[in-house]
């Protein structure tokens, strides 16, 4: 299972999203828009994940 969390990206925020890759990315994308006013593209988030995993 893959996990993405706000604290990994330097936010003082407890939000975590995990599960299936594409669902998780969409959830995180919505959260960052709603809570932080930052719009990540799916591609940008996928790249962050890939970098994190290696």
Per CB under 5 A, residues contacting Zn ion are 6, 11, 13, 15, 35
Q: How far is the CB of 26 from Zn ion (least distance, A)?
A: 15
Nearest CB to Zn ion, comparing residues 8 and 54: 8
Q: How far is the CB of 9 from Zn ion (least distance, A)?
A: 8
Nearest CB to Zn ion, comparing residues 9 and 54: 9
> CB within 8 A of 39, min separation 6: which ones?
29, 32, 33
């Amino acid at each position: 299972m893959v996990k993405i969390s706000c604290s990994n990206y330097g936010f003082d925020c407890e939000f975590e999203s995990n599960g299936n890759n594409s669902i998780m990315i969409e959830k995180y994308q919505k959260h960052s828009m709603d809570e932080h006013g930052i719009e990540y593209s799916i591609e940008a988030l996928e790249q962050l994940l890939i970098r994190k995993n290696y």
